[in-house]
Structure 1
Amino acid sequence: MKIQEIMSSKVETISPDASTKVAARTMHDLHIGSLPVVSADGELMGIITDRDICCKVVATGRDAGWTKVHEVMRKDITTCFDDQEIDDAAELMASQHIRRLAILNRNNSMSGFLSVDDLARGSYDLAGTVLEASTPVH
């Protein structure tokens, strides 16, 4: 099964110049934990998560209204192509210990997002493998 068959193709994105306050409000309103950061020309630049805002802005006393997304986003985003097999995505997610994966088309434009929930719709076994690998051990 191809990634494009199960991924979420309607993905909310955010500009690198938006404030982290806007990013936090967007995530809160949409009940999501991350936003792909996309430039005006559609290039995927990184990702910002609720944890990034908590640890890099709030916990350090920075003003979320003035701190820009590009200042705290992660640029080392892991991606797959939408025409790859879901097994490839699950293996990558498990090896990188991540629960969300940005999906690109072959023009390197943002095509969608793949989460563990999406994987579960395609294969419970694959979703279980990713969850097991991405759950921190205390």
Structure 2
Amino acid sequence: MTTEGAGKRARDIMRQGAECIGEHGSLREAARMMRDLDVGALPICGDDDRLKGIITDRDIVVKCCAEGKDLDQTTAGDLAHGLVWVDADTSAEEALNMMEEHRIKRLPVIGNHRIVGMISEADIAKELPDSKLAEFVHRVYASA
């Protein structure tokens, strides 16, 4: 993180107000939400309003459309994956490390047992100097 970024928490760098798709919501509904919100991923919340996973636009294409599944019958919960998250009070540095370790581009932020925001690559880019940003991108996109 930048020198001025030292001491920042996940809540300080996240984008607030992440909207969830319900676990019973169809993939067509998820795709429309992504379009309307201009995002590439949505957290999936259960009936208990707790985080169940995350779904990306790529998941919809690769795991539904390409497999010939029905967008209206397949639910977000069917494709729920990636239950990696951080607490809102986690250090920004630790959040960055988790994204690198798990090779993920979006990280849900939880506060009081509910999703309160998401950290994306764009949020990280605002916090890192160019050299660190290049290192982050290399680690997240490097082949396994």
Q: Distance in 2 between matches of 1:102 and 1:88?
A: 13
In structure 1, the partner of 2:35 is: 28
TM-score normalised by the chain length of structure 2? 0.86
In the alignment, which residue of structure 2 is the partner of 1:98?
104
3-state secondary structure, aligned to 2:134: helix
Structure 2: where are the runs of 5+ without partners? Answer: 1-7
Alignment of 1:41-60 (within 5 A): 41-60=48-67
Shift of 1:126: 4.6
TM-score (norm 1): 0.89
CA distance in 1, matches of 2:142, 2:128: 22
Separation (CA, whole Å) in 2 of partners of 1:69 and 1:99: 19
Give the number of the structure with larger relative contact order, counting CA–CA contacts within 8 Å between residues 6 or more apart.
2
Runs of 4+ in 1 over 4 A off after TM superposition: none
Q: Deviations over 1:23-78 (max 9, x none)?
A: 0111122221110001233200111111111111101111101111111221x321
Structure 1, gaps ≥5 residues long: none
Equivalent AA in structure 1 for residue 42 of structure 2? L
State the number of aligned residues. 136
2:93 aligned with 1:84: no
Backbone CA RMSD of aligned residues: 1.7
| CA apart distance, 1:97 | 0.9
Identity %: 30
